[in-house]
Amino acid sequence: MNNVTFGIIISIVALGVSILSAFFKKSNPTPESALQQRIKILESTIEIMQESQVKDRVQIMNLQRDLALARNEIALLRQQYEPYNRNNEKPFLLYVSTNNEMDDDLASLRGVRERTGLQFTSILNVTKENLKNTLDRYRSDQRPLKYIHFACHSNKTGIGMTDGVADPIWLSEQLSNLNVLLMVISGCNSDHIGDMLDVIPIRITMLDKISHIDASQFAATFWNLVGSGNDPSVAFAKSKRLIPSNVAEMLEIHY
């Protein structure tokens, strides 16, 4: 074998070694390149999952919206087709006044209605006869009358009306069997009347003379709390803390 032939053989062997080395490098990547490849796979997987999560969130929001709409439609259908039941009516208040001097209380109640939705019916320039007729109508119709507010002059003998004084005995007769929970007598020296009207579970009265402005301030505060869902006893206690102390001192609650 001459030198030329030997050189050719060496070159062929070197080329083969180079090719094999490149092949093994490709077939057996380094730890770093393997990790880089793993990172790419993980990043791709995360992107896919994030896209799916966004789609799921949008789908959930759409389902929640459809659920709310369906529930609202059910409520409307029930109101439309269910038989009318007086017991489902919200309890409301009867406002009784003798003249326009007491309309500060009425203005306060109108503000309460705007803020809380507390509904009321008014009897202005009240007489004993039309009060009796009104209460008889509520009693016979079984209307859910829960509160009564008297914005009338009063003293120890009774509540003043345009045709005379309604004494506690007469008032007890008219207020019986109505299931009224609470009565407010926003008139001077009405605590004696409150003591005698135990046909009503809770009575709020005035211990002394009270101005129309002070009475309306208490009425606005108290009925706003009741209309917002407070128990009458809790509303009374809160009201005494919120109004001026000289007004709070004149308030009495009877059980």
Gap between the Cα atoms of 103 and 189, Å rounded? 19
Which H helix or E strand runs over 96?
A: strand 92-97
CATH of domain 86-254: 3.40.50.1460
Average pLDDT value over all residues in the chain: 82
Residue percentage of the chain with pLDDT more than 90: 48
pLDDT tens digits, 36-84: 777 777 777 777 777 777 777 777 777 777 776 777 677 677 666 655 5
Residue with tokens 């020296």: 189
pLDDT tens digits, 198-242: 999 999 999 999 888 898 899 999 999 999 999 999 999 999 999
Kindly report whether the global pTM for this prediction surpasses the value 0.85: no
pLDDT at 185 over 90: yes
3-state secondary structure of 202: strand
